[in-house]
């Protein structure tokens, strides 16, 4: 077993030497040796990278489109859910309003605040057929028409007050019209009086201007007559 293992080790060493010899021959062979940078390999690498990048862009675009589609579906489902909830609430409200109202409760008669106002009175009048001898609904000195009569009296009082207010307003307006007419007439009289006084003053001024010349003419003939007498 040891010798067998040693033969295999030797075989591996020989195989390694043979491969190194072949590699050395390829390196020294000018036909197969490449000097400088392998541009073809670099171009292939660049093309592979660009293809991978383009595939990644396409994959991301597909993911984005799928995400947008999922968002639209989710938004539609949310709208449908909200619509279904609204319809459910409307149906529940309608059902409660129709079949579960307050007036349909068992205790509604005990808690109804307007029950007394909706009930018929125990006595509608002296001729009410519901009246009985033992009902104690008729008494001496009652005045069943008091409320109606008081309402009629209040209406009449209100109408009388409105008539009195209208009459006072009309009298006040008439007095005001009379005062305005009197004031206007007084102003017209004052204007006429002022005009007459102005005319009289103008006449007096004209007479005062004409008075000296008239007196001078009257004195001149008397002077000539006295001269003749002296001569």
End-to-end CA distance of the chain: 216
Only one residue has tokens 């309402």, namely 151
Put simply, whether the predicted model's pTM sits higher than 0.85 gets the answer: no
> In angstroms, how far is CA 113 from the centroid of its own chain?
37
- How does the average pLDDT of the chain come out, rounded? 80
- Tell me the per-residue pLDDT of 113-122, one tens digit each, with 9 for 90 and over: 888 788 877 7
Pair 123, 137: CB distance under 8 Å: yes
Residues in the chain: 231
The domains of the chain are located at: 40-99, 157-211
Instruction: Give the pLDDT means over successive 10-residue stretches in the chain (231 positions).
Output: 60 88 77 63 86 92 93 95 94 87 79 80 75 74 81 93 91 83 86 86 80 54 50 46
List phi, psi (to 5°) of 121: -65, 155
Residue 40 to residue 20: CA distance in whole angstroms: 26
- Tell me the per-residue pLDDT of 138-187, one tens digit each, with 9 for 90 and over: 777 777 778 888 999 999 999 999 999 999 888 888 888 888 888 888 88
């Amino acid at each position: 077993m040891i010798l067998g293992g040693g033969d295999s080790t030797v075989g591996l060493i020989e195989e390694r030497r043979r491969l190194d010899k072949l590699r050395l021959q390829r390196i020294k062979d000018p036909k197969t040796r490449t000097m400088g940078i392998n541009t073809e390999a670099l171009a292939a690498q660049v093309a592979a990278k660009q293809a991978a990048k383009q595939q990644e862009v396409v994959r991301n675009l597909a993911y984005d489109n799928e995400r947008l589609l999922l968002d639209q579906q989710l938004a539609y489902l949310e709208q449908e859910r909200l619509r279904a909830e609204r319809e459910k609430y409307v149906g529940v409200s309608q059902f409660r309003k129709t079949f579960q109202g307050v007036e349909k409760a068992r205790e509604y008669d005990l808690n109804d605040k307007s029950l007394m106002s909706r009930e018929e009175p125990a006595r509608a009048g002296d001729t009410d057929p519901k009246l009985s001898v033992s009902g104690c609904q008729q008494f001496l000195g009652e005045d069943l028409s008091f409320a109606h009569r008081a309402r009629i009296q209040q209406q009449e009082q209100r109408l009388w007050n409105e008539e009195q207010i209208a009459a006072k307003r009309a009298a006040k307006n008439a007095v005001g019209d009379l005062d305005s007419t009197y004031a206007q007439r007084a102003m017209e009289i004052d204007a006429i009086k002022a005009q007459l006084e102005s005319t009289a003053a103008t006449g007096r001024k004209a007479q005062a201007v004409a008075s000296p010349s008239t007196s001078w003419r009257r004195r001149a003939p008397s002077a000539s007559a006295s001269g003749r007498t002296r001569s």
